[in-house]
Structure 1
Amino acid sequence: GRILEVRGTPSVQHNILMLPTPSLTCSDAYFVFNRVRLVSCIEISTPSEVEAVNGTHVKLKCTFSSTSPVSLQSVTVSWNFRPLLPGPDESVFYYDKEPFPPDQGRFKGHVVWSGDIPRKDASITLQDVPPTFNGTYICQVRNRPDVHGHNGEITLKVVYKVSISEISMLALAVGAGIVLVLIILAIVVSVKLCRKRRMDKDIEMHVPEDQWKDSTAW
C-alpha cells in the first residue's frame, strides 16, 4: 500500500529498492533523500478491547490522522464485523458525506454515528448490545487521496454483569469478614453483659434475711 518514486543514478535506485519495506511506517509521511519520495498513508487509532454489559450502549472509538486535508467530502468510513465463529465479515456501518446505518442484518437499529470528521473521529455507538455482538469490529478510514493504511480493530466482549477485578473481590471479601467478626464480638459481649446483670440481680434477691439485718444494723 505504499508508492515509491525513485530518481537518480542506477546505483542509488538499487540501494533504495533493497531497503526492507516493513521498517517504513505511516509516520514516514514525506521525506526527500536523493530525490526519493514516499507517499503517506492514514494512521488509525482504536482501543484493542472493549467490554459492555448485555443490553447497554457501548461506544467503539476510532480516530485517524492524515497528512492530506480532511473534509466531509474527502473522507469515507467503513465499519465491519468479524464474528467469533468462522464466517464472512459483516457490514456494520458506512459513512460517505453522511451516515448510512445498516437496513438489515443483526445490526439493524443498533448502530448510530458518534463521529466528527473535522475532528478526525470516526466512532460509532452500538445500542442495546446482545451477546451475539461478541467479536472483532474493524474501522477503515480513507481520506482521498490518502487511501492506504492499516485498519483499526476492536474486540468487543458482551457480559451479563459488570466484571469485578480480583483485587476488588478480595477487598470486598476481607471487608465483609471484618464486619462479620465485629458483629459476632458485639453479640458475645452483649450476651455476657446480660448474663452478668442477671446473676447480680439473682444474688441480690437471694440474700439471707439475717445478713440483710446485719447490714442494716450498721
Structure 2
Amino acid sequence: LPSSALSPALAIEVYTDREIQSNVGSKVHLSCTFWSSEWISDDISVSWHFQPDNSRDTYSIFHYAKGEAHEDDTGLFKDRIEWVGYPRSKDGSIVIHNLDYSDNGTYTCDVKNPPDVVGKSSYVHLLVYDKAPVRAGMVLGIIIGAALILVIIVALLAYLIRYCWLRRQIRVQRELSALERGKLHKLSKGSKGSRQAPLLSMLDQTRSFKSTSDKKSKGLGDSRKDRK
C-alpha cells in the first residue's frame, strides 16, 4: 500500500488552548496534549516554536527528544522555560517564567511519535498585559452571582416581612378575642343583676301584702272580741 493510504490512520492529533492571557512578571502554563494511535515510543519528540506578534519570523524555543529536554539557553527565553510535560501521559506542556511584553505572540506545539508522525501542529496565542483584563465569561459569572445574591436577599426580606405581619395579625386577633371575652363577661353579670331586681321587687311586694293582710286579720279579730 502507498504511504498516503496509511497517513490518515497514523495521523497524530495535538491539542492546545486557543488563547491565554497573563500579567507581566508572572508565569504561564502552555498546555499541549496529544493523541496517537501508536504506543508511546522512546523516539517521541516534542517541539515548541514562537512567532512574535507583527513578525513573520519563527523561533525554536524548546525541544524534547530521547528523554531529554533542551530549553532555549541563548535567545529571548533563556533560563525562563520549564519542561513540565510527561510524554508517557501524552503531555508535552511547558511553563514560561517572568513574562514580558516581548512574549506576546503565537506558540506552536508539534509532536512526533514514530511511526505516527503525520498530523497537524497546534498553536496558542499568548497575550501579556500589565494587568490581565477580566474575561467576558468572568464578568457574566459575576453578574449572575450578584443577581442570585440579590434575589436571595429580596426573598429573605419578603419572608421576614410576611412573618412579622402574620405575628402582628395573631397578636391583634388575640387582643380582640380577649376584649370580646371581657365584654361577654360584663354582659353576663349585667343580665344576672337585671334578673334579680324584678325578683327582689316581687318578694318585697309579697312581703308587704302579707304584712297588710296580717294586720287586717288582727284588726278584725280585735273588733269581734270587743263586740262580745
State the TM-score, normalized to the length of structure 2: 0.57
Q: Determine the structure 2 residue equivalent to 1:4.
A: 4
**What amino acid sits opposite 2:133 in the alignment?**
S
**Does residue 120 of structure 2 align to residue 120 of structure 1?**
no
Larger-gyration structure (1/2): 2
Aligned residue for 2:85, secondary structure, equals coil
**Does residue 15 of structure 2 align to residue 45 of structure 1?**
yes
**What amino acid sits opposite 2:4 in the alignment?**
L
Q: Determine the structure 2 residue equivalent to 1:74.
A: 43
Q: Determine which of 126, 129, 134 is the counterpart of 1:164.
A: 134
**What amino acid sits opposite 2:22 in the alignment?**
A
Residues 35-58 of structure 1 show CA distances to partners (whole Å, capped at 9, x for unaligned) of: xxxxx1100011100111110010
Tell me which protein shows more helix as a share of its residues. Answer: 2
Residues 101-145 of structure 1 show CA distances to partners (whole Å, capped at 9, x for unaligned) of: 111110111101010111000000000110100000000000011
What is the Cα deviation at residue 3 of structure 1?
Answer: 2.9
> Is there any run of 5+ residues in structure 2 with no aligned partner, and where?
147-228
Aligned residue for 2:118, secondary structure, equals coil
Q: Determine the structure 2 residue equivalent to 1:62.
A: 32
- RMSD over equivalenced CA pairs, Å: 2.6
After the TM superposition, which residues 1-218 of structure 1 pair with which residues of structure 2 at under 5 Å, given as runs? 3-5=3-5, 29=9, 40-71=10-41, 73-96=42-65, 97-165=67-135, 167=139
What is the Cα deviation at residue 88 of structure 1?
Answer: 1.6
- Cα distance in 2 for partners of 1:4, 1:90 equals 30
Aligned residue for 1:149, secondary structure, equals strand
- Cα distance in 2 for partners of 1:49, 1:79 equals 16
Cα gap change, 1:157 to 1:3, in 2 (>3 Å): same
| Number of aligned residue pairs | 142
**What amino acid sits opposite 2:62 in the alignment?**
F
- Cα distance in 1 for partners of 2:80, 2:91 equals 19
Residues 170-205 of structure 1 show CA distances to partners (whole Å, capped at 9, x for unaligned) of: 96xx9xxxxxxxxxxxxxxxxxxxxxxxxxxxxxxx
Cα gap change, 1:55 to 1:152, in 2 (>3 Å): same
Aligned residue for 2:91, secondary structure, equals coil
- Cα distance in 2 for partners of 1:122, 1:58 equals 14
What is the Cα deviation at residue 163 of structure 1?
Answer: 1.4
What is the Cα deviation at residue 162 of structure 1?
Answer: 2.8
- Cα distance in 2 for partners of 1:136, 1:78 equals 14
What is the Cα deviation at residue 5 of structure 1?
Answer: 4.2
Cα gap change, 1:152 to 1:109, in 2 (>3 Å): same
What is the Cα deviation at residue 164 of structure 1?
Answer: 2.2
The percentage of counterpart residues that share the same residue type is 33
Cα gap change, 1:82 to 1:70, in 2 (>3 Å): same
- Cα distance in 2 for partners of 1:98, 1:50 equals 27
- Runs of 4+ in structure 1 deviating by more than 4 angstroms, as ranges, are none
State the TM-score, normalized to the length of structure 1: 0.59
